[in-house]
Amino acid sequence: MTDRPNVPKAPAFPTLGVSLRPDAITDFKRNAERNHEMKTFLSIGAGPGIGFATAERFAKEGFQVVLAARSVAKTQELAERLTRKGYKASSRGVDSGDPKSVTDLIGALQKQHGSIEVLHYNAASMRKAALSEQPRDSFNSDLAVNIGGALVAAQAVAPRMEEQKSGAILLTGGGFALAPSPDYLSISIGKAGIRALAHGLFEPFREKGIHVATVTIFAFVSPDSKEASSVAEHFWQLYSQPKDSWTVEANYGLATE
């Protein structure tokens, strides 16, 4: 951006009671334009394992990342880890099981950054409970986090992605989708739903220029582990595929790998 000659006098900011120098306003505009030029990666359900590793993988490629989860304090710590490494990162609070919370988050980010290039839905309620042990008032709330939030988030980001004919919706899947556990019924049903959502949206969204994909993970993943980094790399490779070679699913942790 080239500075214009005869820059007009800077307007006052009533809420601050001060005026900014013209060069300060120019810098502000440049920074705002730079933020819109950077592609935005949003992680919903960002935790210290797969969520953080995947966000960092995309940050290495020049994305500005937004980490969102229910615990604002923990998410802020993760964002600060990225900023200390020189990446552009911020944090937000979101209740993945509340549709309004999810749509409000996405709307605010779109207003601030423009279109979200990559949505990564990583939220999950990992409840260990057999059928007889599952609290009756918790099953629907588990499903709201495990699959409902993913559907709402995809619905919210899709129109902007469709406008620019670009974007990706990445979903963290799990081996329970194919081998459900009687001791983890709600997350098994949730991961089956994530896989069904990815496969169900893949073709119609591909026609709109949006890549929907999932990594189905057949392993337990700890924070700061090689497994977390490997899953993150799977997500990056899915995003990096040429459009004529898009695939809907990658597997991690199978015995054959």
Strand, coil or helix: 129? strand
Alpha-carbon distance of 244 to 208, in angstroms, equals: 13
Which stretches within the chain are classed as H helix? Answer: 22-37, 50-59, 72-84, 99-113, 139-143, 149-164, 185-206, 226-240
pLDDT at 14: 37
Residue 16 lies in a domain: no
For tokens 């469709």, the residue is: 162
Place of tokens 């006052």: 12
Q: Which residues contact 11 (CB under 8 A, 6 or more apart)?
A: 19
User: Could you give the CA distance from residue 248 to residue 246 in angstroms, rounded to a whole number?
Assistant: 7
In a domain, 2, yes or no: no
Residue partners of 75: CB distance under 8 A and separation at least 6 = 46, 67, 68, 69, 91, 92, 93
Q: Which domain holds residue 209?
A: 21-252
Domain count of the fold of the chain: 1
Residue 69's Cα: distance from chain center in Å?
Answer: 10
Strand pairing class (168-172; 211-217)? parallel
The owner of tokens 């189905």 is 216
Structural domain includes residue 11: no
At position 136, the amino acid (one-letter code) is R
Per-residue pLDDT of the chain (257 residues; tens, 9 = 90+): 433 334 344 333 333 343 444 554 444 444 444 445 799 999 999 999 999 999 999 999 999 999 999 999 999 999 999 999 999 999 999 999 999 999 999 999 999 999 999 999 999 998 888 888 888 888 999 999 999 999 999 999 999 999 999 999 999 999 999 999 999 999 999 999 999 999 999 999 999 999 999 999 999 899 999 999 999 999 999 999 999 999 999 999 876 44
Backbone angles phi, psi at 67, to 5 degrees: -100, 125
CATH code of the domain containing 51 = 3.40.50.720
Q: Please report the DSSP string for 106-139 in residue order.
A: HHHHHHHHSS-SEEEE-------B-TTTS-TTTH
- Residue 180 domain-assigned (yes or no): yes
Q: Answer yes or no: is 223 within a domain.
A: yes
CB distance 170 to 118 below 8 Å? yes
Please identify which residue in the block is written with the tokens 């990162």.
89
- Specify the pLDDT at position 255: 60
The answer to whether 51 and 67 have CB atoms below 8 angstroms apart is yes
Examine residue 5 and state whether it is found in any structural domain, yes or no: no
